[in-house]
Amino acid sequence: MGILSRASYVVRSKINTLLNRAEDPSETLDYSYEQMRDELQEVKQGIADLTTQKKRLEMQKRNLEDNVEKHNEQAREAVQQDREDLARKALEKKKSKMSQIEELEGQIQELQSTQDQLVEKKNQLQGRIEEFKTKKETMKARYEAAEASNRVSEAMSGVGDEMEDVGRAIDRAEERTEEMEARSEAMDELQATGTFDDALADGDEIDQELQQGRADREVETELETLKSDMGKGSSGGTNGADTETETESTDDVDLSDLDDGGTGSNEEIEAELEEIKDDTDEKSN
């Protein structure tokens, strides 16, 4: 087998496979049924044309028979008038017409025979069409039932193309849901740890630490008050005196005497910080 023959064979096999996949048995049966009905209609049309031709020949035969009778009358009348020449002429015409009648009868007989054959074939074809129609409907019902059963089986087993697409859609939805749940949990965790606060504002972390410090001081103050009420706060006076002395010494600092050089800024911040601490201690005591 040459290359062209092999290529032609492969192409025909591929086309045949595609046609088999695209072919719908129900549509094929309906089309075949319509083709058979068209053939039956053509046979009926042929019988009608043949019968029409036969009727025309029969009409010609009747006209010739009328002429034959007419020529008989002409011959009798010519004999009565002693006109043998006219009688002979009339009989000659009669013979010619009878010859034509005989020829027409043969043609009519042939047409009748052909008509009978066509009618018989038409009846046979019509019977086959009716039989095919019954078989067609049965085959279509069986095919549709098998197709429905196959779809149900594929749906239940999940092996069909549509169910496969549904399965993939469900998997994608589950993956997307898990991703959104994980993202939501991550957002909650980042919100709880203050990560988003740091990104939004620089002072959020400082505010949190200060808030924590205030809470701690409140707890310590309440603890000292509790100890004092229970007679265990003996160290409170000494701490107050030391704090007052420290505050006075801090108030005497002259910030204008600080150097404006490279460390002047840091010294100012430290002095201001010490002053804030002293004021805070005085208020808490």
- Region 72-99: mean pLDDT is 89
The total number of residues written for the chain in this structure: 285
CA–CA separation, 78 vs 91, rounded Å?
11
Q: Which of 46-50, 159-163, 225-229 has the lowest mean pLDDT?
A: 159-163
CA 200 from chain centre, in angstroms, equals 47
- Region 12-17: mean pLDDT is 67
Q: 185 pLDDT band (50/70/90 cuts)? A: confident
Query: pTM, whole model, 2 decimals?
Result: 0.43
Placement of tokens 């993939």 in the chain = 168
Is the model's pLDDT at 89 over the cut of 80? yes
pLDDT of residue 282: 67
Q: Report in angstroms the alpha-carbon separations of 203 from 50, 194, 213, 214.
A: 110, 12, 15, 16
The residue among 244 and 279 whose pLDDT is bigger is: 279
Q: What is the mean pLDDT of the chain?
A: 76
